[in-house]
Chain A
Amino acid sequence: MTHGIAGLTLVLALVLPLNAFAELDITEARIKNLPPPVPVRAGYMSIKNLSARSVSIVAIHSDAFASVEIHRSVMQDGMMRMEPVDRLTIDPGASLQLAPGGLHLMMMHPAEATRPGDDIEIILQMDDGAEQRLLMKVIK
């Protein structure tokens, strides 16, 4: 019995932190490729908050890019411009789209040439310090 409880505790200790990190269900994570002379790429994804609390993404890192920022394409004075976005906040149960023509990841200065089919790891950093890792697929 003692063994059983200890075992269960061990299992919970191993499983819980992983669950705690996977608060966001992320699908269709993709990077639109561009030819090598161009040092920027746009990243898109669909994010659903599975947790019971509001989650904010405050920073994004990837070893494959010198910097990754959250940007939004907006029309202003008849011109398209890109505006940095400080954080992405997703309410419990809510979804958020990073999609062409709107919110996107601005991924700058790839460490090496990206090719369609590549999987690139990025790390989302939340406002409470938690992190979530995911793979983004490079598409043509």
Chain B
Amino acid sequence: MPRILHHNADEISPMKRSSIVIVALIALIGGFGLSWYAHNSKPIELESGLWFGEQARALPEFELIDHNRQALTRDTMRGQWSLLFFGFTHCPDICPISLQTLADMLEAIDDVDVSDAIRIYFVSVDPQRDSPEVLAEYVKYFHPDFSGATAALDQLTPLTRSLGIAHTIRNRTDASPDYDVDHSAAIVLINPQAEYAGLFSAPHDPLAMARDMTRIVERHPL
């Protein structure tokens, strides 16, 4: 038997040999291509949030005022990945936790192209107390790159309603300047086409969010 095999191998001409090599190379490259395609066409799965994929939907038109007293609109969201948290500055527990989480998340992202593509917005649902000046001091306390924004409730509510973010003012009386604001603690993800693309529900894990945002932005670089 070994003799016959040896004989057969001798019979392959140089011409045939090179075609085999070419076919093998094509198969190899095709294999890589297929696995690359399979990897990139697989839906993104997040460990700490929901990715809407094809279900991403356009934001309504809106106009907020940011911490520099500049307009913040749907068009501002184009060409960047945006994470929005809705809260109020007179919120001692949940809001500082969430903003600290977002700051820790940014610091935990190793890929600078990913972190540079992300903008973080704290949107106050308490415009009466949270002026742009208050918001400026508040957001910069957590991270120099954070933005704050707010708007009168009649401007704000169509946006929050379209995002499924609930908020309501409670216990407001003439007797005291203090009142509570109940609000959804979820973090909203807007894609570079200004569409609602994903949602991170509370409680938030900064490291898991950092991995999720890296998955998303590396798959869809700016």
Contacts and interface: CB of A to CB of B under 8 A. Distances in A.
A, B co-complexed: yes
Interface of A: 32, 34-42, 71, 73, 75-82, 100-101, 104, 106-108
B138 A104 contact: no
Nearest to A39: B90
Nearest to B90: A40
Interface string B87-100: 00111111011000
B99 to A, nearest CB: 10
Contact of B92 (A40, A76, A77, A81): A40
Contacts of B137: 35-37
B115 interface: no
Given A42-B92, A81-B180, A107-B92, 8 more contacts: A35-B137, A35-B140, A37-B134, A79-B166, A79-B167, A80-B183, A80-B202, A101-B94
B89 A80 contact: no
Given A73-B93, A104-B92, A78 B180 contact: no
A71 B92 CA distance: 10
Given A73-B94, A81-B170, A37 B89 contact: yes
A78 B94 CA distance: 14
Contacts of B167: 79
A32 B92 contact: yes
B107 to A, nearest CB: 14
B166 A106 contact: no
Contacts of A108: 178
User: At the interface, is chain A mostly helix, strand, loop or mixed?
Assistant: strand
Interface of B: 89-94, 96-97, 133-134, 137-138, 140-141, 166-168, 170, 178, 180, 182-185, 202-203
A42 B97 CA distance: 11
A42 B89 CA distance: 12
Given A35-B137, A37-B134, A79-B167, A42 B93 contact: yes
Contacts of A81: 170, 180, 182
A77 B167 CA distance: 10
Contacts of B138: 34-35, 37-38
A34 B96 contact: yes
Nearest to B91: A40
A108 B141 CA distance: 19
A39 B91 CA distance: 10
Contacts of A42: 92-93, 96
Contacts of B93: 42, 71, 73, 82, 100-101, 104
Contacts of B202: 75, 80
Contacts of B184: 78-80
Contacts of B94: 73, 80, 101
Nearest to A81: B182
Contacts of B97: 100-101
Nearest to A37: B134
Nearest to B133: A37
Given A34-B138, A40-B90, A101 B203 contact: yes
